[in-house]
Amino acid sequence: EEGDEDEDAGKEEEEGDEDDEDEDEEEEEEEDLSMKVMEEPGADSGCTAVVALLKDQELYVANAGDSRCVVCRKGEAIEMSLDHKPEDDVEMERIVKAGGKVTGDGRVNGGLNLSRALGDHAYKQSENLPAEEQMITALPDVRTLMINPEEDEFMILACDGIWNSLSSQEVVDFVRPRIQQGQLKLSQICAEVRECFISVLVELSQSYITGVQF
């Protein structure tokens, strides 16, 4: 029996050693991955984001940066996101508190012309500040809207390349008659708005989503 106990103890010790080795290997892999990410060309790049989730009849929109979501309600543009710009009071206050500045042309430290983004780690180096208080933060704003299929016709998600040239209402006024004519695919309408910019057009109807085109 003593021999069996010694054998069991030996097995437990071996299993414990194996667990420790597994944990060490996982930590090493995580460190290696972090180093690879930091060393990758473009690792310090960034992007804006706007995301829309339609659950039943409730629309949720989250955004970080100056990409925008707009809903067309009976021809009127409803902005479902907030453009995050450095010159805005709330954004500027955070930037200054984090040790940055907003230059006269509306740029953070003379660089980015937006105040929230994914990535852009060069602006997120204050070790004593949480992520949401850095000069550039990825913290999104979230808005909700109850969709009325009788009134809400479509929504547009697009990057600043469109919004810097056209207002929300101008884009709605451009898209709406083309959808009503029914001769073009949504993707073709997107291409007509601006060929070289990123946009997504979603048609809202009785079935809530009848088509999604990129």
The arithmetic mean of pLDDT across residues 81-93, rounded, is 95
Query: Is the pLDDT reported for residue 14 higher than 60?
Result: no
CATH of 46-213, one of 3.60.40.10, 3.30.465.10, 1.10.260.40, 3.40.50.300: 3.60.40.10
3-state class percentages of the chain: helix first, strand second, coil last, to nearest 5: 35, 25, 40
**pTM as predicted:** 0.69
- Which of the pair, 10 or 196, is modelled with greater confidence? 10
Cα–Cα distance for residue pair 199/67, rounded to 1 Å: 9
The first and second tokens of residue 189, run together, are 């309408």
CA dihedral 80→84→87→93, nearest 10 degrees, is: 110
Taking alpha carbons only, the member of 103, 164, 109, 158 closest to residue 136 is 109
Highest mean pLDDT among 17-21, 61-65, 126-130: 61-65
CA atoms within 13 A on the CB side of 212: 7
